[in-house]
């Protein structure tokens, strides 16, 4: 059984919303908050079953942002971490191919933070807060 990583499609939106709604303390942002109106990211599947997804915000600098990583809370297989690693390294490779030098991410989930550490990301140990304002 192999993983597959692909770009998000319009048809993935409802799946992502259902995942966000199942995770406690998660706020579903409007579709137009995400890059390419909810299609600007990647999703990892195993046997055509979606497992984890994240959004890639491209900038006019040498840095890109990998954000809003979410996984299927009902996925109980032991290889969830491998799927998350594939998402992160897949995004790293896309960014490298586009001549970006940095990938930035924000997170509070300890498992996700540890995965980033295991993939040699620098993790600031001081907590921070996400701030959003509707203007």
Sequence-distant (6+) residues with CB within 8 A of 15 are: 50, 72
Neighbouring CB atoms inside 10 A of 42's CB total 21
pLDDT for res 1: 63
DSSP 25: T
CB 63 within 8 A of CB 104: yes
Neighbouring CB atoms inside 10 A of 54's CB total 24
- Domains of the chain by range and CATH? 3-118 (3.40.630.30)
pLDDT for res 56: 98
CA dist 14 → 18, 39, 41, 72 (Å): 6, 12, 15, 12
Q: pTM of this prediction?
A: 0.91
pLDDT for res 11: 97
Q: What is the mean pLDDT of residues 15-36?
A: 93
């Amino acid at each position: 059984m192999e993983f597959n990583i692909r770009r998000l499609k319009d048809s993935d939106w409802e799946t992502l919303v259902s995942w966000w709604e199942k995770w406690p303390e998660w706020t579903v942002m409007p579709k137009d908050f995400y890059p390419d109106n909810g299609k600007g990211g990647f999703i990892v599947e195993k046997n055509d079953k979606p497992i984890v997804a994240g959004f890639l915000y491209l900038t006019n600098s040498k840095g890109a942002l990998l954000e809003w990583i979410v996984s299927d809370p009902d996925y109980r297989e032991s290889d969830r971490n491998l799927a998350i690693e594939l998402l992160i390294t897949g995004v790293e490779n896309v960014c490298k191919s586009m001549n970006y030098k940095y990938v930035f991410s924000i997170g509070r989930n300890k498992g996700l933070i540890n995965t980033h550490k295991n993939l040699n990301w620098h993790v600031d140990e001081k907590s921070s807060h996400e701030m959003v304002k509707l203007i």
